[in-house]
Structure 1
Amino acid sequence: MNENYNQVLYQEEDPKAYIEDYWTKRSEGFASLRKNELHSDKYQRWEKEILTQLPTGDNLKILDIGCGAGFFSIILAKHGHQVVGIDLTESMIADAKILAAEEGVKPTFCTMDAENLDFDDESFDVVISRNLTWTLPHPRDAYREWMRVLKKDGVMLNYDAEYAKDQKTSKLSGRHAHDDISKELMNQCNEIYHMLDISEKHRPEWDRLILMQMEVSECEVNPNVGQDIYKEKDMFYIPVPMFRIRAVKRG
């Protein structure tokens, strides 16, 4: 898609199309980054982090929302869980299928809108997401959907950050996660920040308050989880503090 078409999308207030366009352009480089992350020390750190937050039980049914190139889906599938990964961007799903096959696991991947899930009520033991909610035009609706498809006593894990309030990555020297992103794409990313209401929220407190209004028995926030995983200033590094939200659906 050319720049003029992107601008039309923006002017016509079609944020999902504009956001999907951004991630389609980023998909090849993003998949390469996730592939490298799977074979880095970040894999073990993420593995430890996620597994300690899951409910007890083997062969859990897990929905990875906004799965991108399948990083979380692959980790969880390697531990024997039934994983479904969804993403709005078709090229991301294509990359996730390739990467999962290379890693010898078979999650199910499909294209789907995180705000409008095509699953029955109470279908999953776990709903997990990473770096997605900051891109959503209607995050409250998304949370409602995520809780709908979660089983009673199921766990929702959301890893995200206030990226719109700390736009330092394009100004960093040395290695970082946005090191290979073009100026055009960084500008498009910044436009996404400014077009979404969630960018104005005080997070993750806003998320916690929204979730506590739903069918949640407990909801806790760890504001420093990113510091435990991205310790080095390398190709995966982003300085914005990543937080974890863990909510349990009322039984």
Structure 2
Amino acid sequence: MKFSSQSLDERIERYWSRRAQGFGAVRRYELSSEKSRLWLCEIEPFLPSGPLQILDAGTGTGFFAILMTELGHAVTGVDLSPAMIDSARETAQKKNMPIDFHVMNAAQLAFPSARFDVVLSRNLTWTLPDVRAAYTEWYRVLRRGGVLINFDADYGNVSFAQQTEKLNQPNAHAAIESALLKECDAIKAQLDISGVPRPEWDMRTLGEIGFTDIRCDTQISDRIYAKVDETFNPVPMFRLTAGKPG
């Protein structure tokens, strides 16, 4: 059975709100570990020079937003889940970081056009009912010469419940109850993005929208997750970078 776009958004929001507490614990561990440095190595080479206005789309509990604020950039973080945003705000307040967090659909942004120098995202596009709409919105809110940096994976080809049951090592899903993982799998089955080849589809779509200098790195998991710990993601990730023509 296919859900309407609105009811699917609601189901997705409920799922991630239920995940917020455990998700936040993993991200806080990442912030205090070598993973912060590893992620920065994957992001910094693609950032334009100077203090930047950065949108962290699908900020979750604020991991990327905090990393970018620590570099001196002005960061806005959005997420569909109020519980995720509450967790992000709490972490940012403890670190005395002035990050502008909003509960907002990343595919329906309430920002003016040409608002940001960078749109940054991690593990979001695979969860969206309309990824093309999100990429179109991100193009709209980028300034000329702005950059999109999107980290994701072809999660639609994976059953989280089955994979986690079989893994005999630490991983980011190990502490998640089976019912939640099955709910995630059920949601993924409803998403169009789960049925297309990635990242090939993404690269083609970004070009159709108007992005240029589109590049993809499919080896980032070898660098980020070389050490297996509680943040380990067994699904190979990719990094997409693209620019808005100046």
Tell me the TM-score normalised to structure 2 length.
0.95
The Cα RMSD (Å) is: 1.4
The question of 1:129 aligning with 2:121 is answered yes
Q: Alpha carbons of 1:52 and 1:11: their partners in 2 closer, same or farther (altered >3 Å)?
A: closer
Cα distance, 1:214 vs structure 2: 1.8
Cα distance, 1:71 vs structure 2: 0.1
1:119 to 111, 114, 122: 111
SS at match of 1:52: helix
Q: Which amino acid aligns with 1:36?
A: Y
Distance 2:37 2:4 in 1: 43
1:173-198 superposed Cα distances (whole Å, 9 cap, x missing partner): 12100010001101101001101010
1:177 to 172, 178, 182: 172
Cα distance, 1:172 vs structure 2: 0.9
Cα distance, 1:65 vs structure 2: 0.3
Q: Which residue of 2 aligns with 1:216?
A: 211
Q: Which residue of 1 aligns with 2:193?
A: 198
Q: Which residue of 2 aligns with 1:54?
A: 47
Distance 1:186 1:91 in 2: 18
Q: How do 1:140-179 and structure 2 match up within 5 A?
A: 140-167=132-159, 168-179=163-174
Cα distance, 1:12 vs structure 2: 5.9
Q: Which residue of 1 aligns with 2:184?
A: 189
Cα distance, 1:82 vs structure 2: 0.4
Cα distance, 1:120 vs structure 2: 0.6
2:99 to 81, 90, 107: 107
Stretches of 4+ moved more than 4 A in 1? 10-13
Gaps of 5+ in 2: none
Q: Tell me, yes or no, if the aligned pair for 2:154 and 2:198 is still in contact at 8 Å.
A: yes
SS at match of 2:22: helix
Distance 2:11 2:226 in 1: 32
1:118-171 superposed Cα distances (whole Å, 9 cap, x missing partner): 011110000000000000000001100000000011000000001121332342
Distance 1:11 1:42 in 2: 37
Cα distance, 1:11 vs structure 2: 5.6
Cα distance, 1:103 vs structure 2: 2.4
Q: Pick which of 62-71 and 97-106 moved more.
A: 97-106
Q: Which residue of 2 aligns with 1:27?
A: 20
Q: Alpha carbons of 1:220 and 1:18: their partners in 2 closer, same or farther (altered >3 Å)?
A: same
Q: Which residue of 1 aligns with 2:69?
A: 77
The question of 1:228 aligning with 2:223 is answered yes
SS at match of 1:153: strand
The question of 1:249 aligning with 2:241 is answered no
Q: Which amino acid aligns with 2:222?
A: Q
Distance 1:192 1:170 in 2: 19
Between the two proteins, the alignment pairs up a number of residues equal to: 242
Tell me the TM-score normalised to structure 1 length.
0.93
Q: Tell me, yes or no, if the aligned pair for 1:170 and 1:186 is still in contact at 8 Å.
A: no
Q: Tell me, yes or no, if the aligned pair for 2:121 and 2:151 is still in contact at 8 Å.
A: yes
Q: Tell me, yes or no, if the aligned pair for 1:227 and 1:242 is still in contact at 8 Å.
A: no
SS at match of 1:68: coil
Q: Which amino acid aligns with 2:17?
A: T
